[in-house]
Structures are given as C-alpha cells and as structure tokens.
Chain A
Amino acid sequence: MSQSKDNIIVQPIDLTAYDKEFLHLSGAIQPHGILFALKEPQLEIIQVSNNTFELLGFQPQEILHKSLKELLTPQEILFIEGCLLKDFESVNPIKLSLNKSTKIKDFDGILHRCDGILILELEPKITQEERDFIRFYHFVKGAIAKMQNAPNLSELCQNITQEIQKLTGFDRVMIYQFDGKQAGKVVAEQKREELTAYLGLHYPASDIPEQAKKLYTLNRLRLIPDIEAQPKQLIPSHNSITNKPLDLSYAILRSVSPCHLEYLKNMGVTASMSISLNKDRKLWGLIACHHYSTKYVSYEIRTACEFLGQVMSLELASKEENESLDYRIKLKTIQNKFLEAMPLAENFMEGLVKDKTNLLELVDAQGVVICTDGDLAIAGNTPNKSDIYDLLAWVEAKIDNDIFYTDCLPKLYPTAERFKDVASGLIVLSISQIQKNYVLWFRPEVIQTVNWGGDPQQSVRFEQEGRLSPRKSFELWQETVRSQSLPWKPCEIDAVLELRSAIVSIVLRKADELARINIELARSNNELDAFAYIASHDLKEPLRGIHNYSNFLIEDYAEILNAEGVSKLQTLVRLTQRMEDLINSLLHFSRLGRVELSVQQIDLNELVSNVIDVLSISLGQTDVEINIPRPLPAIYCDKVQVSEVFSNLITNAVKYNNQATKRVEIGFLDGDRTSKESPTVFYVKDNGIGIKEKHFDAIFRIFKRLHTVHKYGGGTGAGLTIAKKIVERHDGGIWVESTYGEGSTFYFTLQGKGG
C-alpha cells in the first residue's frame, strides 16, 4: 500500500477509498528481506515475516518466541545491545551474518523502534560493496557540490536527477513538485533516450492521497524492487505487546498498496524508488525513479540517495527564496519604473496607462484594464468591455482593503465561466473608489497557460495498449483545474498593494503641493487685492488733481482762452472721468472673485423686473421694448451678482442697437428634463447691431471694445468680462450667438437646483 513517485501516472479509481486505507498496518512486507518484531530486553522474536524459509532455510515457527540471540553471534548481539542504549538508528545498517541460515549468510540489518517494539529488518547483501566511509563520501561529494553551485531551482532539480541516475542506474529519474493546491508537475527528468518524456506534465492533487503523503514525510526513502513479488505476511498477524497489527510506518520493507502496484503496472514500470523532498516540514515534492525491469538498490546507495535528498531539501529553501527574491527584485524594478514615470504624467492613471507592458509583468498577468471614472484602457487578453463593466459592478462590493483577488473567478462569479479562458484569475486594485479608479489584472484558465510536456502523439501508444498514459492523466488534471488560473503569488499581491501605496503617496504629495500652491495663491491674491486698492487710490489722486485743475482753469480763465483752448480742457476733464471709470471697473472686477457668494433661491422674475426698473431710469426717453415670453424659473444664485449679469446684458442689448425700437427678449431654453442636475440655459436676445463671429470670444476679454469710445454710449469694456466671471463663479458658462447687423443672443447657464 505504499505509494512511490510512480503515482505520478494516475489511475481513474476511487481515490477516496484508497485514502482511507491504513497503509502502515498492512501486516505484510516486500519479500526481498526479512522482518523481525522483537520484545526487549531479551530480544524475543514476537513476529516474523513468512519468508524465512526462502531466505534462511528454516520455517518462521522454528524461531518464533525465541531470542534473537539464537540467530546471531554473541558479538553481534553485544553490538546490537550496545546500540540500543544509544541513538541506534545512526548505526544502520549493521553487518550481520546469520550462522543458522542455510542459504544467505550476509545481511544488512536495519533497526528501529516503533510503539515500544524493536523492529529488525534484514536485507540480503547481494553486492560486495565495501561499506567504507571514503566510498560513501565520494558518492555524494561531487553531487552535493553540483547542487550547491546550481544557480537556480530548475538547475538544482536537473542536477539531482542526473546524480541520482548516475548513482542508481534507474531508467528514469524525475522531480515531481506539488503546487499550492497539492497538484503536481514534473519539473526535471533524466531518462533513457528512448523513453517518452514526462517533463512538464501535470497531475491532480488526488494522485497522492493524504495518507500516502504522511508516510512520505515519515519515511524519506521508499524502494520497490519488483512489483510482481508477492508480499509476505507477518506471523502472527497481531503482536503480543499491542494486540494489534505491527505499525510499519518506518519499515523499509513495508509492502506496497495494491492500488499503487496497479499504477506501476499500467505504466509498465517494474521497480521504483522515491525520495521525499521536504521544505518547512512539508512534502515539497519527490525524486521519483522508475525502472522497467526488477531493480534492487543496496542500502548503502539508498542511504547516499536519501542523504542527497536531504541536502536538496535544505537547498530548496534557499534556492526557492533566491528565486522568489529574484522575482521580487524584478517586481520592485517594475514598480520603480512606475514611480519614476508617474509624477511626470498629468495624473497617475495616465502614468499607469502609458506603461501597460510593465503593468502586465508586475503580476505576470495576460490582461490588464485600467478603469478611470468609467473609461477603460485595455492591454493584453481581457473580457470584452461590457463584461468588464458587469464584472466591476459585481466586484466593487467584494473589494476589501483596496484589493480583491481570486484564482477561480468562475466559481465566485458564474458569469465569468463564459470568459474563463482569459479571466479565471482576477486581481482588482482599488485606487479610489469614490472616483471609480481601478486596475484589473486577468489570468487565463491554467489549462491555457500550461505547456504540454512531451509529445502527446507519442503517448497515444500507451492508450492503445490499454494502459494509462500521461496523456490521460493530463486530461484528468485538466478536469481538476477547470476554471482556475495559476495562483497569485503573495509577492505579486504585495507588489500590487505597494503600487497602490506608491500611487497614493504620489497623489498625497501632489495634494500637498497643491495645498502649498493654494496658500501661495491666497497670499498673492491678498497682495493683489491690497494692490488694487492702493493702485486705485494712488492713481486716482493725480487724476483728481488733473480733473480739478482743468475745471478750475475753465472756471477762472474761460474768458481769456479761445474756444479751442476751452474744448481741450473739457476733453481733459472727460478723459479723467473715463479713466476713473476704468479704474473703478478694474477694481470691481478684481473684487468679484473675492467676495463670498451668497447663494439662495431667487425668483428671477422679481430680479429681472428690478433690474429693468433701475435701467429704465438711465434709459430715459429711449424706445425700448423688453419682452419676457414666459415666467422665468426660480434658481439658486447670488442675487446681487446675477442682477449685475442681467443688468450688463440688457444694457448692452439696448446700447449696441441702432434700431428705432430696441427689442430685448429675456428667456430660457427647455433643457434636458430628464436630468435635474443639468443647468438652465438663459438668454438675452436683442435686435441690435450684432457681432462678427471672429469677435465672439474677444468680447469677453476685459477692456476689449469693438467700437470707439464715442460710439454706442461709451463704456469701459468690462461689463461682459464681469458677467462672464459671475456666471463662472456660479459654475456656469456664457457664450454668444449673433448675426452681424441683425442682433445678438447671449446665453448663460445657471444651476437649476440646489446651486
């Protein structure tokens, strides 16, 4: 019932039942050695394997309940007794000669204790190898040096398969590695040339049952010299100390599970050996050896192999760590590239979008989507856009601590079954949930990812012969990994989270900069504000002097001066007044942005009617018709400022108008009624002189005038600039449509509801 590496090739049987078998209590051993269960201290033989006659020439009953002392020389007994006081397992194997044996005389004796019972296993010494330290040292010295020098895990694996094959002469030596879900893969292989390659093949986790895995960790080396050999029962089946079958967990001769034997047969394997590779006390993988005829490996060679397995187990940790370190360094390098590039981009999302290749490499994904406020930037293989939007809607609630990831999306989100070939694996990184900024990485179903090892055509041959083939096992493996991607590595998840914190720190830094700029801006605004008042004062003082003195000159010397002189002085007075208007406009404009808006709900009908009342005083005799086709809505705005907008626009409509009857229409457009948010568009329409299209923008610039000072009643050219600023402060826009010579319509938007 033991399994060896050979389980690699799977058999479609009920593995659950297999899992429940008590592999270590089989009560039988492989027939190439003898097992004694001994009761201490007299070393009474309480159980013995039923093959003493074949190997020793006498029946088991003859020695049952006798002491081991009757089989061995006093020196050997003395030696064994000496061992028992110490760490006796380190002396294995003990060279024993059974003087009572009429057949094989020389044995390797292997001692261990289990459940308080001393177990002695005897393996015939078939070869004449000298058990000397120097020879063992030479066996392993070169191999260990090669393993240690291997630059990476894959070469380490390759090296050890070569060394083991050299040492043992097996037809095929493989490294079989378990993944995170205990599915396995052949990662290295050394074989006779004519054999089919198994390298790269994957196998389901169920290939090696838990029970078997436990035995692999207990017993680091397992040899099956001949699968055809009949197992030998222990006599009696229960031992007298525990009244149970003997626990053979540590017995090297433990018999093989019938299921496992079946596997090996199906594969055409006759002998096998497996060496456990452990990392962090867990089974990491196996060194699996196959032979296509019977093959016995001496205890000595096995010890060397086991030793190499242990060295490799030690090396694994550092090699894997190095490998993951290399990978982490690579991820870090990619990250750094982002960090360098991102601050240069307009915003961080653009920084990400620019370098999609690195973004893919950052987590070894095949597809990536950057979602910025509903816009998608896509690279590599991803679901289509509408699927991505649906997926985002689903995943938003799943994001925890800014990240969500899975390697089996279709299991959590059945819709994904449709696009599992690109998106069985998903990472969603939330950069800003409020602004809906996400990065999504996709990995395909693992079946799309894995390379088929060996030539599938070649394996068909096995099937024709009615045997299990690696091909079939691959199919079984496919079944078990359907709708899954390769798992996301912790360092990849870390890299994604680090990317996020880097982005956040950049955003924060930008926010800091912005805050600093704002403080600076506020300061310079204050200075400008003060400057505007001081400038207006300092400018006005000489202006007042010029104005007053010109007036005084006219008053005092009008009779002396001729008409032209008086006219010039009058011009001087007019110019000073104009200059004051300009200074006042500038001051008014500069203050607009500084005064807090006092927003409240305002009835525009009332507001416009007030404006018209005020204007009618200054309009005097002019023939003006103001038409408001339908009542205006109430809106949230600053009453004083919006009054000024209407006042400016109505004044302009009348001022820039050479019609006998000047018509002004004030109204609003029917906007998008479905959206309460959309602002209302108001208009002020006139039958005036119109504006050429090329001036449409210019008219809103401060002090930009289209006409001479004397035409159309003058003005400072600040009215529209002020109107524009007010509308913009209300988050609106202002624009003009006009036909030159026929009239103009000024449009502006103000928020309809809630300001």
Chain B
Amino acid sequence: MAEATQTLLVIEDSDEDFAAFERILRKASINNVVYRCVDGDEALDFLRHNGQYQDRTKAPRPGIILLDLNLPGTDGREVLEQIKQDSELKMIPVVVFTTSSNPKDIEVCYQCGVNGYILKPIDVKKLMRTVQVLIDYWFEAVILPNSVRG
C-alpha cells in the first residue's frame, strides 16, 4: 500500500498520551511509521536534520506532523511558526492535537497556517474515533505533497 509509506511525526511530551495514541493506532491496525519527538527543539532538529538527526535515513521527512501545543522548551506555537516560515517545511501538513480550547490559541494557529486543529478528548472511545478520522482523512482522503514528488 502506497499509504503505508507515509510517515507520521508526533511531537508530544506526554508519554501517556503518546502510549495511548500508539495503542489506538495498533488496535486500529494502522501501520504507518510513527516518529516521536518530545519537545519543540528536538522536533525542529528532526525536521532540519540537525543534532542527533543528521542521518537523514533516521529522520525522513514526515507525511504529516501531529503537534501538541504545550511543550517543554520551545513551545508548540513556535514550532508551528518555524515550520510555516520555512520554505521547505511549510508544505508538510501540521495538525495541532491539544487540550487547549483557548480561542486565542485556535486563532493564532490558523493565522500561522495550521492545517487542522483537534482537541484531545478525555473519553477513550472519542479519542479512538478522533484518531481514526485523522488517519483516514490525511492518509486516505487527501493527497499529501511528498506523495507527488515520489
């Protein structure tokens, strides 16, 4: 499946949230490769192949980025801004996946050019549904930019 080649970068500091996310992917038999960065600086290194990610094979360009907003160190909002200001990176769809329903955050993210804004539900069933919709949409319904180049 062509879709299986698409990778996902999850920028998430919470181990529990990430574990829940992985579990849901696994349960839903979603096989996309998932990379995870735990903070903004690491994510930017990953995307720019800096620091520990100089080996490009260990840090391929993701098909889509899932971004938590409240991150230690470089904040999610700043990561988003940096991505969307970078002529190369700005093509990668970024979906914010956060607990914050603050209207200001939503506004700022869309101003920066975010491709989607999803609230993390607490209810596990809702979470599963949300993740499923997210994967279905971005990996099945949508044509991602890097699939064109390939």
Measured CB to CB, the residues of A under 8 A from B are 530, 533-534, 536-538, 540-545, 547-549, 551-552, 576-577, 580, 587
Q: Which of B14, B98, B101, B123 contacts A545 (CB 8 A)?
A: B14
Given contacts A533-B102, A576-B122, contact A545 B17 (CB under 8 A): yes
Given contacts A541-B14, A548-B16, A549-B16, contact A536 B123 (CB under 8 A): no
**How far is A548 from B127 in the complex, measured between Cα atoms in Å?**
9
Asked whether, in the complex, the Cβ of A533 is within 8 Å of the Cβ of B100, the reply is: yes
For window 67-111 of B, CB contacts with A under 8 Å fall at: 70, 98-102, 105
Q: Which of A541, A552, A576 contacts B17 (CB 8 A)?
A: A541
Given contacts A537-B70, A537-B99, contact A577 B16 (CB under 8 A): no
> Can you name 27 A-B pairs with beta carbons within 8 Å?
A530-B102, A533-B105, A534-B70, A536-B99, A536-B100, A537-B70, A537-B100, A540-B120, A541-B17, A542-B16, A543-B122, A544-B16, A544-B17, A544-B120, A545-B14, A545-B17, A545-B20, A547-B122, A547-B123, A548-B16, A548-B17, A548-B20, A549-B16, A549-B20, A576-B122, A577-B122, A577-B123
B117 to chain A, nearest CB (A): 14
Interface centre among A542, A543, A547, A549 (most CB of B within 10 A): A547
- Chain B window 112-140, contacts with chain A (Cβ cutoff 8 Å), 1 for yes, 0 for no: 00000000101110010000000000000
B124 cross-chain contacts in A, Cβ below 8 A: 547-548, 551-552
B74 to chain A, nearest CB (A): 17
B14 cross-chain contacts in A, Cβ below 8 A: 541, 545
**How far is A250 from B69 in the complex, measured between Cα atoms in Å?**
106
Given contacts A540-B99, A576-B122, A580-B122, contact A552 B16 (CB under 8 A): no
Q: Which 4 A-B pairs have the closest CB atoms?
A: A545-B16, A533-B102, A551-B124, A548-B20
Q: Is the CB of B23 closer than 8 A to any CB of chain A? A: yes
A549 cross-chain contacts in B, Cβ below 8 A: 16, 20
Asked whether, in the complex, the Cβ of A541 is within 8 Å of the Cβ of B123, the reply is: no
**How far is A686 from B45 in the complex, measured between Cα atoms in Å?**
63
A537 cross-chain contacts in B, Cβ below 8 A: 70, 98-100
**How far is A159 from B70 in the complex, measured between Cα atoms in Å?**
93
A542 cross-chain contacts in B, Cβ below 8 A: 16
A544 cross-chain contacts in B, Cβ below 8 A: 16-17, 20, 99, 120, 122
B102 cross-chain contacts in A, Cβ below 8 A: 530, 533
* Further contacts, 20 of them, CB under 8 A, given A533-B102, A540-B99, A552-B23: A530-B102, A534-B70, A536-B99, A536-B101, A537-B98, A540-B122, A541-B99, A544-B16, A544-B99, A544-B122, A545-B16, A545-B17, A547-B122, A548-B16, A548-B124, A548-B127, A549-B16, A551-B124, A552-B20, A587-B101
Considering only CB atoms, which chain B residue lies closest to A546 in the complex? B16
**How far is A543 from B16 in the complex, measured between Cα atoms in Å?**
10
**How far is A552 from B100 in the complex, measured between Cα atoms in Å?**
24
**How far is A540 from B101 in the complex, measured between Cα atoms in Å?**
12
**How far is A545 from B120 in the complex, measured between Cα atoms in Å?**
12
Considering only CB atoms, which chain A residue lies closest to B14 in the complex? A541
B17 cross-chain contacts in A, Cβ below 8 A: 541, 544-545, 548
B98 cross-chain contacts in A, Cβ below 8 A: 537
**How far is A549 from B123 in the complex, measured between Cα atoms in Å?**
11
**How far is A538 from B105 in the complex, measured between Cα atoms in Å?**
15
Considering only CB atoms, which chain B residue lies closest to A551 in the complex? B124
Considering only CB atoms, which chain B residue lies closest to A576 in the complex? B122
**How far is A158 from B19 in the complex, measured between Cα atoms in Å?**
108
**How far is A534 from B14 in the complex, measured between Cα atoms in Å?**
15
Interface centre among B17, B101, B127 (most CB of A within 10 A): B101
Considering only CB atoms, which chain B residue lies closest to A548 in the complex? B20
**How far is A481 from B102 in the complex, measured between Cα atoms in Å?**
78
B127 cross-chain contacts in A, Cβ below 8 A: 548
A543 cross-chain contacts in B, Cβ below 8 A: 122
Considering only CB atoms, which chain B residue lies closest to A544 in the complex? B122
A580 cross-chain contacts in B, Cβ below 8 A: 122
Considering only CB atoms, which chain A residue lies closest to B98 in the complex? A537
B122 cross-chain contacts in A, Cβ below 8 A: 540, 543-544, 547, 576-577, 580
A534 cross-chain contacts in B, Cβ below 8 A: 70
